[in-house]
Amino acid sequence: MKRHQLEQIISGKSRGIAPAALRMTLSTLTPIYRAAISVRNFMFDRGWRKIETGGLPVISVGNLTVGGTGKTPFVAWLARTIIALHKRPAIISRGYGRGQSLHNDEYLELQIRLPHTEHLQDPNRVALARRLAEQNDADVLLLDDGFQHRRLHRDLDIVLIDCTCPFGYDRLLPRGLLREPLQALRRAHVIALTRVDQVSENQRNEIKRRVTSIFKQHGHGQAESADNRLVNLHLPIFAEVSFVPTHVTSQETHLELADIRNRKPIAFCGIGNPVGFQNLLTQLCGERSFGAANQLLVFPDHHAFNRSDVDSILQAAHQFGADIVLCTLKDYVKVSRIWPDRATSIPLGAVVVEAEFRSGETQVQQLISHLLA
């Protein structure tokens, strides 16, 4: 089942006997998941499971919900910020969704964004951290999608919250989209609200109010900086981030955003938050909406595209009369390898977005600078 279909069910938007029965079934499984997560966190909190150091400062970027919150462009911003401080960042991640491949799609995308930055993938991230420290290959580690990976000590925990679906329908997996209870946010030092341009100011303020109330329930945040390089925070630093399209890269050329407004595009994606991409396309293409059937084809997150998928995308493009097919950079790094030659096909283009701070950038930069001083 695709994510957008699942969200229709768990959000209650899908009505009828079958969706209601599925919601009931998922509700019976949630207590099991909650118990497993609670026991795991309790063991780390009490020290019964060891939090290990990797020999280098660690900055974690993660989220509390399943799906895309914009971690990859945010990690790219973070790496460039560290490079500007004349330090060498390295990225370590689990490598979820690799399948039989050596690297997953986030790795391939970051390779384009940060071609000179080391990136290692392995479920044993402690071993990766120690290897980089021993080889003197980095000054600081960026732990990608690391909020739930508590085994590796981190000095700065950044949690991204997607404003379009901030709290995972207030239910844990599998009934909702929360990986952990909301109280887990108290481990965070920075709360970065993403896609702030897609919601109102009142909605953003309500998210901040709710997060603040979670921290105040226990009086302070639970900063995990054992060596005191960071001061414990009574409340997290809030930042507001949007993902701004900068250009469209295609197989043969670099297109300006204005060029797309004069084209007739069709799009597809296999990402965690297709609604965010749909909203971005609507903004990019002016008045045209990508909510029409077959104009935005949605595949599962981390989908392993094959030639059959490409054929179905091209068939839809021909039926729509499209003169370009758009996707995310995450999809492009996989699909461009099997896309037909432009001379015999509709061209493929990736909408490249970068993280742009609306607020909080200076405070986050100061934290990073203090950590690396």
Q: Which two tokens stand for residue 186?
A: 């108290």
Report the SS3 class of residue 77: helix
Residue 36, pLDDT > 90, answer yes
Q: Which two tokens stand for residue 328?
A: 């995310």
Interior/surface letters 325-360, b for 16+ CB within 10 angstroms, e for the rest = bbbbbbbbbbbbeebeeeeeebbbbbbbbbbbbeeb
Which residues touch 177 (CB under 8 Å, ≥6 apart)? 7, 10, 65, 66, 67, 165, 168, 169, 171
Strands of 154-286, DSSP E: 156-162, 190-194, 237-250, 254-255, 265-269
Prior bond to 174 cis, omega within 30? yes
Q: What's the count of helices (H) and strands (E) in the chain, helices before strands?
A: 11, 12
pLDDT of amino acid 224:
45
Bigger pLDDT: 258 or 155? 155
Name the band, by pLDDT with cuts 50, 70 and 90, for residue 115. Answer: very high
Closest of 364, 357, 360, 352 to residue 110, by C-alpha: 352
Kindly give the residue spans of alpha helices, DSSP state H, lying in 46-176. Answer: 71-84, 105-113, 125-134
Report the SS3 class of residue 127: helix
Q: Which two tokens stand for residue 261?
A: 């407004």
Is 58 within 8 Å of 129 (Cβ atoms)?
A: yes
Name the band, by pLDDT with cuts 50, 70 and 90, for residue 225. Answer: very low
pLDDT of amino acid 285:
81
Give CA angle at 171 (170, 173), nearest 5°.
140
**Residue with the two structure tokens 């949007």:** 242
Residue 103, pLDDT > 90, answer no
Closest of 339, 334, 359 to residue 252, by C-alpha: 339
- Kind and range of the H or E element at 140? strand 140-144
pLDDT single digits (tens) 164-210: 999 999 999 999 999 999 999 999 999 999 999 999 999 999 999 99
